[in-house]
Chains A and B, each alone.
Chain A
């Protein structure tokens, strides 16, 4: 299985801050990576697919980049509704695996 890691595991930030989350795959996955946002008690929401494509309806302050083994999710200006846990998922080979998550909370 492809192992996914994320850093940091948690980040404290303020409204308006720029936040960057890193995801690393244990082997190359080209651009087959997705990012999800999950709020407490809710299902995950797809934010980014194919490493950098913004899902319909997702605010443009979210962006993704990377290929191969290293990827980033950036929130350009953190909004109150963005406080949540973010997961990456490799979509290259079965079983598709998720990172352990990065919790973004209020500073």
Chain B
């Protein structure tokens, strides 16, 4: 059974860089037909796709965040990572990683349990 687990600091200072890693277990991140994504949810609010990556390194970033986002993949560790620079309080959210189908099957399943990142000094 495929499982995803987010890890990283729960508190980041304003203007600094948020860094998270998603570890995939129960399956290979290098399997074709799947992308791997980051999605966030501010407290009490809805879901926002940050971006996705293919095992080859091909990425898609949400234009609303593109200037601040980098998603990378480490196939040797079966992990992919998120970096978000110049964070503000508006970036406070639960950050989820999830598997996305490739081609036209662009829905997300399964998801990690999520990790709350708070931006505060």
A and B physically associate: yes
Q: Which residues of A does B touch, CB under 8 Å? A: 1, 32, 34, 36, 42-46, 49-50, 55, 87, 89, 91-92, 94-101
Chain B: CB-nearest residue to A85 = B46
Cβ-defined contact, A97 with B96, below 8 A:
no
Complex Cα spacing A95 to B109, Å: 17
Cβ-defined contact, B96 with A95, below 8 A:
no
Residues of B within 8 A of A98 (CB): 46-49
- Check B113 for interface membership: any CB of A closer than 8 A: yes
Residues of A within 8 A of B55 (CB): none
Cβ-defined contact, B63 with A95, below 8 A:
yes
Cβ-defined contact, A95 with B105, below 8 A:
no
Q: Which residues of B does A touch, CB under 8 Å? A: 46-49, 60, 62-64, 96, 98, 104-114
Residues of A within 8 A of B105 (CB): 49-50, 91
Cβ-defined contact, A44 with B60, below 8 A:
no
Cβ-defined contact, B104 with A32, below 8 A:
yes
Chain B: CB-nearest residue to A4 = B46
Report the minimal beta-carbon distance from B84 to chain A, rounded to whole angstroms. Answer: 15
For B47, give its contact among A1, A55, A87, A91 (CB under 8 Å): A87
Cβ-defined contact, B49 with A34, below 8 A:
no
Residues of A within 8 A of B106 (CB): 32, 91-92, 94, 96
Report the minimal beta-carbon distance from B98 to chain A, rounded to whole angstroms. Answer: 8
Residues of A within 8 A of B112 (CB): 43
Chain A: CB-nearest residue to B6 = A43
